[in-house]
Structure 1
Amino acid sequence: MAETLFSFDRKNYRDCQHLFRGERNQEYYCGDFWIEEGSVIDARAERRAVGPCSIILLRSATKQFFRRTRRHIRDDATDLSVLWFVKSGQLVFSDQCGNRTAGPGDFIITRSMSPFLIECQPDGDQPHEALHVTVPTHILRGFLAHDVASALFLPAERREVSIAQKILTSVFRDEDLLSEQSARTLVDAALIIVGHAIRAGETGTPARQTVADRRLAEVLRFIEVHLSDSNLSTSMVAKGCGISPRYLSFLLRLRGTSFSELVWEQRLEKARNWLSSSQPRDISISEIAYGVGFKSPAHFSRMFKRVFQMNPREFRTTAPDENVHQDYVRYTGEGGLLQ
C-alpha cells in the first residue's frame, strides 16, 4: 500500500530541503530541493516500495525545483535512475546539453550521476502530476540496450510508454492484494516494455513485414502451440498454415534451421526446464517426455543424453537448478528425426 513520502503546505514548506527524502532519507539522493513561494503551496508525494525500486506519485499545485550538482555527486555517489511519466503540467529538465520540456504523456529517464536541474511546473489551474519510478542504475541496465548517460526523452505517441505507466499505476494503487513477487514481476514487465520503446525510438519505424515474414511467424506459432503433439510433422504444419511442405522448408531455411532441428531443440528445452522446476513426487520423467511430444521415454532419454551429456534422471538429481549446456547441440540424425 502507498505511504506518504512528503506533504508540504504553507506551514512546513521552508523545511522541504530536509524532508523531501522521507523520514529516514531513504529515497532519491542528495540535492537541493525547494518550492516556489506563492498564494498556494501544496505538494505531496506518495510512495510504494517494490524491492529496490519505488513507485512515487507526485502532485503539486506549486512549482518545485530540484538541483543535483557535482558537489552532491561527490558527497553522495548513489547511482539512481528515475523514470518519469508526466501526467499533467510540465517537467523541465536542464543540463549541460540544454533544456527539454516534457508535457502530458511524455516520458523521461534521468540519472543521478550527471548534474541537472528539474522544474515541476503546474499548468495554470492544472497541477503538476507525475508518476515516477526510482531504479538503481545497475538494475536498469539489464532492461536497456545501453546506459543513459544523463537523460533520455520519449514523446507521448509511444504506445509502450502508456502501457508501462498503466502497469506501474496498478501496482502503486494495489492495497497489498498482490504478493511481493507478483509486484516485482509487474515492475520488471514495465521496465522491459520501456526498453522496447527506447529501442524502437532509436531505430525508427520498423521495416514493413514481408509475406515471408508473416508466413514464418504463423509457422513458428503453429509449432509452438502443437509442440506436445507427438504426431507433429511437416505435412501437419504445412496444412495448418495453408502452405506447401516445400514452402515450409524454404521459410525455415530463412531462419537458418530445419523442421527437425527446430522441433527437437524446442522439445528438449521445454523438457530441461520442466525437469529443473519440478520434483519426482509431482511428475515422472515419462510424463514429462510425453508432455513435450516424445513418443516414448526411451527415445526422450537417448535424445536428452545426446544433447546434455547426462540422462534425464541424472540431470534431475545432480543439476536441477543449473542451466546445463544452454548452447544446444543440434542433432538431426541420419535421414532426420521426423518423418
Structure 2
Amino acid sequence: MKERIFAFDERNYHECQAGYRGKNNKEYYSGQYAIDAGSDIEVRADKKSVGAMSIVNLKSKSRLFFQRTWQHIQEDATDLTIVWFIRRGSMHLSHQNGTDVSLAGEFGFIKSLSPIRLECHTDDRSVLEVLHILVPTYIFKRFIPEEINAGFSSAMDKREFRIAERLFQEVFDSDGELGSGAEEVLVNSALALLVEGVKQCSNSLQERQTLSQKRFMDVLNYVEVHLTDPALNADMIAQGCGISRRYLSHLCRQHNTSIPNLIWSGRLKSAHEWLSSPAGRQIPISEVAYRNGFKSPGHFSRLFKQVYNMTPREFSSVRTGATASR
C-alpha cells in the first residue's frame, strides 16, 4: 500500500527541513531541504515500499532545493542509488564532475554517498513531477557492478527505458492487486532492463583506472569525507588510505597539487555551496566556518575573499538580494 511521506503547503512549508524524511525521520537521507516561499506552495510525496526498495512519486507547485554535503554523509552514511524519471519540470544537479540539467522525459541516477546540490524547477504551468526509485546500493550492484558516472542522465529514447518506467509505475499504482513477491519481481525486472539500456550509452560508465589514479581517487574521497575534521592533515590522510606519506606526496605532485590545497580548496568549495543555498544562508557565518573545518570565522573569511574576491558575509548578501529580486 502507498503511504504519504510528507505534504507541505503555505501553512507548514517552513517545517519542511524537519519533515521531509517522514514521521519517523527515516525516509530518504539527511541534507538541507528548502521550498521556494515565493510561489503557490503545494508539495507532496507518496511512497510504495517494495522489499528493501521504495518507489516515490513527488509532485510540487513550487521550486525545491536540496543539498547533501560530506557532513551529512558522515552523519548517516545512507548508501542508496536513486533512479529518477522527470515527468514534468526540470532538475538542475550539481555534483563532483560539474552541473547537469535534465528536462521532462529524461531519467538519471544520484548516489547518496556523493555530495550533491539539487534545484527542481516547475514547468510553464507551475508543476513538477518526479518518480524516483530508492535502491540500496548493495542491491543495485547486483545488476551493474561497474560505477555509473556521476550525474549521468539520458532521454527516454530506448525501449528498455520506457518499459522500465512503465513497470515501476505499475507497481506504484498497485493497491493490493499484486502480491509482494510479484511486485519485487517486476521492480527487479525494471532495474535489469534499465541497466541493459544504460550499458549501451557511451557516456554512462566510468573508465578503468590505473593503480595510481585509483589511489589518488581514494585520497580525494578520504579528504572530502573528512573535510569537516579540523585535525585533517597529510599523516591522517596517508594512514586512512593505507599508503605512505612519501607516496601521498608523489601522488599529489603527479596531479600538480598539494595536500594543503586539496584540504582548503575542498573546504572553500563546500562553504561556497552552503552559502549558495537558501537553507545555508539562514546559518550564521561562524557556524558555516566551523562546520566546514575552518579554524575560526576570521580564517574562513580571509581564505574565502582570496578566492571569491568578497567576504562570506558579502557573498551571502549578494545571493540573498538576487533571490529576493526574482
TM-score for the superposition, normalised by structure 1: 0.58
**Consecutive unaligned residues in structure 1, runs of 5 or more:** 205-339
Name the structure 2 match of 1:88. 88
Q: The residue matched to 1:4 in structure 2 has which SS? A: strand
Name the structure 1 match of 2:202. 202
Q: Distance in 1 between matches of 2:100 and 2:51?
A: 31
Cα distance, 1:150 vs. partner?
A: 3.2
Name the structure 1 match of 2:122. 122
Dislocated runs of 4+, deviation >4 Å: none
Name the structure 1 match of 2:157. 157
CA contact 1:104–1:156 (8 Å) conserved in 2? no
Deviations 1:17-40 (A, max 9, x none): 111111112211110111011230
Name the structure 2 match of 1:70. 70
Cα distance, 1:145 vs. partner?
A: 4.5
Residue pairs, 1:1-339, within 5 angstroms? 1-148=1-148, 150-202=150-202
Look up the equivalent residue of 1:58 and give its one-letter code: L
Cα distance, 1:159 vs. partner?
A: 2.4
Deviations 1:42-68 (A, max 9, x none): 111110000010000000110001100
Q: Distance in 2 between matches of 1:154 and 1:167?
A: 18
Q: Distance in 1 between matches of 2:99 and 2:149?
A: 16
Q: The residue matched to 1:123 in structure 2 has which SS? A: coil
Q: The residue matched to 2:146 in structure 1 has which SS? A: coil
TM-score for the superposition, normalised by structure 2: 0.61
Q: Distance in 1 between matches of 2:111 and 2:59?
A: 21
Q: Greater CA radius of gyration, 1 or 2?
A: 1
The structure carrying a bigger helix percent of its residues is 2
Q: Distance in 2 between matches of 1:203 and 1:106?
A: 15
CA contact 2:97–2:150 (8 Å) conserved in 1? no
Cα distance, 1:203 vs. partner?
A: 8.5
Task: State how many pairs are aligned.
Answer: 204
Cα distance, 1:76 vs. partner?
A: 1.2
Q: Distance in 2 between matches of 1:186 and 1:13?
A: 35
Q: The residue matched to 1:26 in structure 2 has which SS? A: coil
Deviations 1:152-188 (A, max 9, x none): 2122322221111100001000011111100000000
| Higher RCO (CA < 8 A, seq sep 6+) | 2
Deviations 1:108-163 (A, max 9, x none): 10001111111111012141101000000111011125123633212232222111
Deviations 1:62-82 (A, max 9, x none): 000110001111111111111
Look up the equivalent residue of 2:133 and give its one-letter code: V
Q: The residue matched to 2:200 in structure 1 has which SS? A: helix
CA contact 1:145–1:199 (8 Å) conserved in 2? no
Q: Distance in 1 between matches of 2:48 and 2:132?
A: 11
CA contact 1:56–1:131 (8 Å) conserved in 2? yes
Q: Distance in 2 between matches of 1:195 and 1:42?
A: 34
Look up the equivalent residue of 1:84 and give its one-letter code: W
